[in-house]
Amino acid sequence: MCESVERYADKKAEKNRINTLAEAVKMLMKNTSVSLEQAFCNLGITDNDRKLISKQLQR
């Protein structure tokens, strides 16, 4: 039981982390008029996270 709760918490934390990064990217692009790629570079976002954030921003 405890393991499943941990997995759920980990998934929730990861989802929140990606949501927070996506919001940071959107705000940076809006406030500084940089491209998506420039925002990723400026924030030091990893390639794996870039894929997840790009998918989220397309929604």
Query: 39, 27 in Cβ contact below 8 A?
Result: no
Question: Distance between CA atoms of 39 and 12, rounded to whole angstroms?
Answer: 24
User: In this predicted structure, what is the pLDDT of residue 11?
Assistant: 96
What is the per-residue pLDDT across 11-52, written as a single tens digit (0 to 9) for each? 999 999 999 999 999 999 999 999 999 999 999 999 999 999
Confidence of residue 59 (pLDDT cuts 50, 70, 90): confident
Question: Distance between CA atoms of 39 and 35, rounded to whole angstroms?
Answer: 6
- pTM here is 0.87
Sketch the domain layout of the chain as residue ranges. 2-57
pLDDT of 1 above 80: no
User: In this predicted structure, what is the pLDDT of residue 39?
Assistant: 98
